[in-house]
Amino acid sequence: MATTRGEGGPRYRSLAPGGAHQHADGTWHTHDHAHDHAAPGPLGAVHDHGMPAERIVAIEQDILARNDAFAARNRQLFRDRGSFALNFVSSPGSGKTTLLVRTIEALKASYPVAVVEGDQQTSLDADRIRATGAAAVQINTGKGCHLDAQMVGEALAALDPAEDGLVLIENVGNLVCPAAFDLGEAHKVVVLSVTEGDDKPEKYPDMFRAADLMVVNKVDLLPYVKFDVAAAVERARRIRPGLPVVEVSATSGAGFPEWLAWIEAGIAAARDARDRDLNALRQRVAELEAKLRAAGQAA
Ligand code: MG
């Protein structure tokens, strides 16, 4: 399945409550023009059309509130199914898809894996994921620079992720806009490859602040580039104190034992949370049944 919004996107109909932006005059804006990301406020995806700042802030709050309602639904679905969901964010070219493919190859025998792929155009990444045997839905955002929770919710309805599994969401390659949008995931994972600058955390602080793990990827290329891993980690932790970091190569497999251990701990925690919910529900049912029995005896 591919869904498209914005330019040339008749296959994606439900523009209104998701990532489309309602202006103060009531019209909807669907990313069909060039963006000015210099607007004030936390939401890089809202654009400056010469509106007063306070009106822009009000629109941002409206968009984020709508998104959060859809994100809460996704989060509940993950909770009910014992799914561990990760939202991968990075610049284009950091190796997210290669990281996902190797991760799936390593875990698919042990856990069901479902994947949501976000790109502006093409289903190339979903095709690579499906070649592993994992189920994947490609969302094409058209001119949109990030996934939103409604798009992901629709993809999840199509994927119907199995119980006790892993849900991997590959966001659109962009270190700005995806930071502001909760998709219902357990964690945002920011991927920084050593072919980029080690100063990215300082240049794009919102994303590193929003992430719960930094994956430093392509470490097999360290002998050939000027990237300083210690400096990148130090810069990221200045923005997000204590940020856990794993150093991997998705092509050589270096660092994968630690990366996979982090994921498997998350899967176990998601299952435990679902089991606690079920036990609480069973206890509540038993209490209600006891109450009914007592009421029956009294009658
Ligand atoms: Mg990709």
| Residue 33 backbone zone (phi > 0: left; psi -120 to 50: alpha; other: beta) | beta
Buried b or exposed e, range 151-167, using 16+ CB within 10 angstroms: bbbbbbeebebbebbbb
State residue 54's pLDDT score. 84
What is the CA(50)–ligand 1 centre distance, in A? 34
What percentage of the chain reaches a pLDDT higher than 90? 77
Q: What is the mean pLDDT of the chain?
A: 87
Tell me the CA–centroid distance for residue 259 and ligand 1, in Å. 19
In the reported structure, the alpha carbon of residue 170 is separated from the centroid of ligand 1 by a whole-number distance in angstroms of 7
> Is 150 or 1 the better-scoring residue by pLDDT?
150
Domain extents for the chain?
70-271
Q: Which residue would you say has higher pLDDT here, 117 or 42?
A: 117
The per-residue DSSP string of 61-99 comes to HHHHHHHHHHHHHHHHHHHHHT-EEEEEEE-TTS-HHHH
Ligand 1 centroid–CA 88 distance in Å is 10
Maximum Cα–Cα distance across the chain:
83
Taking the centre of ligand 1 as the mean of its atom positions, its distance from the CA of residue 178, in whole angstroms, is 14
Residue 276 CA, ligand 1 centroid: distance in Å? 35
Report if pTM > 0.95. no
With a cut of 60, say whether residue 172 has pLDDT above it.
yes
pLDDT value of position 288: 97
CATH code 3.40.50.300 for 70-271: yes
pLDDT of residue 48: 56
* Cβ proximity of 78 and 186 under 8 Å: yes
Q: What is the mean pLDDT of residues 97-125?
A: 97
Ligand 1 midpoint to CA 19 (Å): 20
Ligand 1 is an ion; its neighbours by CB within 5 Å are: 96-97, 125
- Give me the mean pLDDT over the 31-60 stretch: 58
Ligand 1 center from residue 181 Cα (angstroms): 18
pLDDT, greater one: 104 or 33: 104
pLDDT of residue 37: 39
pLDDT at 27 over 70: no
For residue 92, how far is its CA from the centre of ligand 1 (angstroms)?
Answer: 7
Residue of 228, 170, 161 lying closest to 199 (CA atoms): 228
Measure 288 CA to ligand 1 centroid, in angstroms. Answer: 50
Q: What is the pLDDT of residues 228-286, one digit of tens each?
A: 999 999 999 999 999 999 999 999 999 999 999 999 999 999 999 999 999 999 999 99
Distance 122 CA to ligand 1 centre (A): 11
6 pLDDT band, cuts 50/70/90, is very low
Is 299 a residue whose pLDDT tops 50?
Answer: yes
pLDDT of residue 49: 60
Instruction: Give the pLDDT confidence score for residue 53 in this predicted structure.
Output: 85
Asked whether the predicted pLDDT for residue 28 surpasses 50, the reply is no
3-state secondary structure of 218: coil
Ligand 1 mean position to 97 CA, how many Å? 4
Alpha carbon of 56 to ligand 1 centroid (Å): 31
CA atoms within 13 A on the CB side of 173: 12
| Residue appearing with tokens 């009531």 | 26
* 54-97 per-position pLDDT tens digit: 888 888 888 899 999 999 999 999 999 999 999 999 999 999 99
* Alpha carbon of 6 to ligand 1 centroid (Å): 20
**Residue 268: predicted pLDDT:** 97
Q: For 182-230, what is each residue's pLDDT tens digit? A: 999 999 999 999 999 999 999 999 999 999 999 999 999 999 999 999 9
Buried b (16+ CB within 10 A) or exposed e, 71-101: bebbbebbbebbbbbbbbbbbeebbbbbbbb
Helices (H) and strands (E) in the chain, counts: 8, 10
**C-alpha to C-alpha distance for 28 and 40, rounded to whole angstroms:** 20
Q: How far does residue 125's CA lie from ligand 1's centre (Å)?
A: 6
